[in-house]
Structure 1
Amino acid sequence: MTDAAPRRGRGRPSRTQTEAGPATRDRILEAAREEFSERGYEKTSVRGIAKSAGVDSALVHHYFGTKEQVFEAAIEVAFAPALDAPEMVLKGSLDGIGERLTRFFLGIWENPTSRTPLLAIVRSAVHNDTAAAVFRRLVVAQVMRRVADRLDVPDGELRVELAAAQLVGIAMLRYVIKVEPLASVDMERIVARVAPVVQGHLTNP
């Protein structure tokens, strides 16, 4: 008589599933981004992500852990262009950093490919404390502190936060709430008006 296959513990993914590799992990992340985008953080569940990805919930937990950790992984992938900001913005002198940061930030929002996941991230962060904490941890650690370090002034973090508040406020009004005429004005006009303000936050005495 052939030995029966060993039973896997409850809630654990099968060997076949765990051996699926990077493609399965990427599929779960893609499903997570879509679920968070459509439903927001609170209404998204690990089970829903698993169903959308065509796997069982145990496999989502195997790769990412909790829903908060899935959200953070999905944010990091979707937010990847913005995480390049320090390298791109900090090249060159500090004299033009306000314009470079403004143009870079608005450029990400102008791109439909990056705008869709960013909208999902912002909406989730606004309505849920857990999502907001994840978003804040990612942005502060990987973007704001690196820009603040480049300024080399005692109040660098405050300066960067003020500049970020200016830019995020514009993004909310232009891309999320869509207040006119800001929502439809040419981006270059916005850059021309806002960049000097951002520059002032970052470098003025």
Structure 2
Amino acid sequence: MNLTNQHIEFIDNYLRNSGVVYADIRFEMVDHVATALEQQEGDFMENFRLYMVENKKSLLNNNTVFAKQARRRALKALLKTMVKPRFIAVTALLMIIFKFAIDVYEPETIKDALTVVYLFLLFVMALLAKFGLKGGYSKFSVVDKLGSALTSTAYILFVLIRPDKLISDNNWLIGYYTLFTVFMLSGIYTYYTLASKYKLLYDGNR
């Protein structure tokens, strides 16, 4: 049985309505289901119904597994970005800047200024998530997990934990500010890069 574009779209919508929200995971599942149905003869709807009766639970379990794996892939992509030469250079530059700033300003003043910077970066990331490059991004597993990791980490390590109150040694405080800023910058860069890549790879094939 040859599947039409309408059949493919039907499978995609069915999986989306069944809770497979991430476009990249759904793309692979649609391909898997379509391949299985193309090997059968007869009516598409009847074959699809029978296939889902037998395989829907397994597909949804795989969806959960793939979503968990996406978090590890997101963190791995972030770490790869942080050790790139350009970000190592940024790390060295930031250490110099923070060393100068902490000699001139109070640690609390620096912390407040950085809070504004980090909120701006998260706002930029939120805009990318909503509007994307051209017409908005679909929801991709690795990108989404990276975004949630950045947001939660920023809140925990910079809002709940006040480094200017917790760390008394200026050298340690410089290191903290440097690493956290590199984490945020490389996170935004990785988010943007992955979102663009996934959009081209998956949205471009729809």
Per the normalisation by structure 1, the TM-score is: 0.25
Per the normalisation by structure 2, the TM-score is: 0.25
Higher RCO (C-alpha 8 Å, min separation 6):
2
Instruction: Point out the structure with the larger helix share.
Output: 2
